[in-house]
């Protein structure tokens, strides 16, 4: 039977033990989007983007996004402006859709955002404290 000891023996060395606190916020956020983003879904998009706006590194995965209009672009630029004012690095946007790539190219958004074709180009497999978020699905314009 082991009895509790209230006072350690005087000959026992004392070892300081400090637990490393868990970070209160992630250092990296990856948000997955899908569907269409237009004026009808602007409020939902804004709310989703606000969830990650104060995280130092942000990756927006638009691999399953089929359409964005000027209102969606406006929300992305608002996110960039907010984060730039706080000194955060520019957001990475992942997309393969040639139509989205064309829109981003015409608007020269590839100079504003870090645009890549593959999530593995911007997310490393390391110990970075990161969170995965799912955006509310984009609203289909036919519903």
Q: Report the run of H or E that residue 37 belongs to, with start and end.
A: strand 28-37
Task: Describe the chain by its helix, strand, coil percentages, rounded to 5.
Answer: 30, 25, 45
- Report the 10 Å Cβ neighbour count for 67: 16
Residue 18 · residue 48 · CB < 8 Å: no
The 3-state DSSP class for residue 113 equals coil
Q: How far apart are CA 48 and CA 136, in angstroms?
A: 7
Q: Which of 28-42, 68-82, 95-109, 114-128 has the lowest mean pLDDT?
A: 114-128
The pLDDT tens digits for 50-102 are 999 999 999 999 999 999 999 999 999 999 999 999 999 999 999 999 999 99
Question: pTM of the predicted model, to two decimals?
Answer: 0.78
Cα–Cα distance for residue pair 22/25, rounded to 1 Å: 9
State yes or no: pLDDT of 141 exceeds 50. no
More confident site: 110 or 1: 110
The reported pLDDT for the residue numbered 67 is: 93
């Amino acid at each position: 039977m082991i009895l509790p000891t209230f006072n350690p023996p005087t000959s026992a060395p004392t070892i300081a033990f400090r637990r490393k606190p868990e970070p209160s916020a992630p250092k990296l956020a990856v948000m997955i989007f899908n569907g269409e983003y237009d004026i009808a879904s602007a409020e939902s998009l804004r709310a989703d983007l606000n969830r990650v706006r104060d995280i130092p590194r942000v990756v927006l995965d638009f691999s399953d996004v089929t359409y964005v209009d000027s209102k969606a672009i406006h929300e992305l630029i608002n996110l960039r402006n907010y984060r730039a004012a706080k000194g955060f690095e520019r957001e990475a946007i992942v997309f393969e859709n040639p139509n989205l790539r064309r829109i981003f190219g015409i608007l020269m958004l590839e100079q504003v955002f870090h645009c890549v074709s593959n999530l593995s180009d911007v997310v490393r497999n390391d110990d970075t404290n990161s969170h995965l978020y799912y955006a509310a699905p984009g609203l289909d314009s036919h519903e």
